[in-house]
Amino acid sequence: MIQPHGGTLVDRLVSDEARDALLAQAESLPSVTLDSRERSDLEMIATGAMSPLTGFLNQADYEGVVEGMRLANGTLWPLPVVLSATDEEVAAVAEGDRVALRDADGALLGVMTVESKWQPDKQRELQACFRGDENHPAWGYLQSSGSWYLGGPIEVVALPRHENFLEHRLTPAQTRAAFAERGWNTVSAFQTRNPIHRAHEYLTKVALEQTDGLLVHPLVGDTKSDDVPSEVRMQCYQVLLEKYYPMDRTLLAVYPQAMRYGGPREAVLHAICRQNYGCTHIIIGRDHAGVGDYYGTFDAQQIFDDLGDDLEIQTLRFEHAFYCKLTGGMATTKSSPAGPEDRIFLSGTKVREMLSKGERPPAEFTRPEVADILIDAYAKRGAGV
């Protein structure tokens, strides 16, 4: 089976015995409250999904990532994974101290040994990592978080609590075991934050022609407010997979990370994490992890050409798929001679506009069972349900 990034699947969850000791120790430690993204990152670090990270980035690793997509030891890592803190939280914290990591309700998640404490240049982070300006979603998050960063290894006593998708919350160790049990030597990962429409279906089935299995791995962490809620999306995935996919060659699991809208760099992050989950291939379509016009249409594919042998996972790269009226099915410019007048494209933005008006997306864009779920969800939202 494919090796995790860095060679070892990290596990930062402590034993029961160590957990009791940390719970007792944490009572006398200064505390930092994690926001929802940081809680997602803690979960990803603890379970090995972000291997080789053993904690939030220290300053040397952060600087290396911002400037050159490398940790201090030279390992490829594309985006900062950091813990922010307020002036009040860091007032009594020095490098070498230990701090308690807590959720919004004060429950202990873990303990971090502080290797670095610094005030970052967030404008520089925005421009270097996201090619962004103050209208980019990343800037809203950076502004809302604390002005300090704390970095160091973590010991986790409990993963963040969840009430949804429990049967689909598989760790990298669990997905790897599932692939092995099913005899899948090659697995394609499909990253999505939207309902799967006909173009996505086409891409994933082309991938299934090339690999033993398909991991449909929707992101269920924080997304933009106008994205379709994860609960609605999961209903869409389930009905679509049950009716239109070979279930013995398909696995649905959720990806707990928050969306960063980092374009090419985030595409690399998605690939690294899916390698840790045991996938050998990842589908990279047009404008992967993009937002607005901050990135070129195929920048997220082209960035992999510059990585050399840093990643074992392979990319499956696709052009913009469309419904072809000439051939009567899904296609791309590589497989269809149809001119623009015979191609039906619908963006996620356009479909959301249709749904908000109570209009049904056409069959050329989405399966009718998915359209039913989306129309019902938008009707309830419009009615304030």
Q: Before 337, cis peptide (omega within 30)?
A: no
Task: Report how far apart, in Å, the C-alpha atoms of 159 and of each of 8, 37, 46, 199, 340 are.
Answer: 20, 13, 8, 35, 49
Directed axis angle between helix 230-244 and helix 368-382, to 10°?
160
Residue 327: alpha-carbon gap to chain centroid: 35
In angstroms, the CA 379 to CA 385 distance is 9
In angstroms, the CA 10 to CA 15 distance is 14
Give φ, ψ of 187 to 5 degrees: -140, 130
* Cβ-contact 196, 216 below 8 angstroms: yes
In angstroms, the CA 215 to CA 28 distance is 43
Local structure of residue 236 (DSSP, 8 states):
H
Residue 362 class from Cβ within 10 Å (0-12 exposed, 13-18 middle, 19+ buried)?
A: middle
Nearest one of 271, 280, 45 to 176, comparing CA atoms: 280
Nearest one of 368, 40, 361 to 222, comparing CA atoms: 40
**321: its two tokens:** 């798929």
Indicate which residue of 193, 233, 265, 274 is catalytic. 193
**148: its two tokens:** 């300090």
Which strand (E) or helix (H) includes residue 41?
A: helix 36-47
In angstroms, the CA 294 to CA 79 distance is 16
Indicate which residue of 194, 249, 317, 352 is catalytic. 194
Residue 193 designated active-site: yes
* Residue corresponding to tokens 């919350």: 169
Pairing of strands 31-33, 98-102: parallel
3-state secondary structure of 251: strand
Length of the chain in terms of residues written: 385
**Any idea which residues carry the catalytic annotation?**
193-194
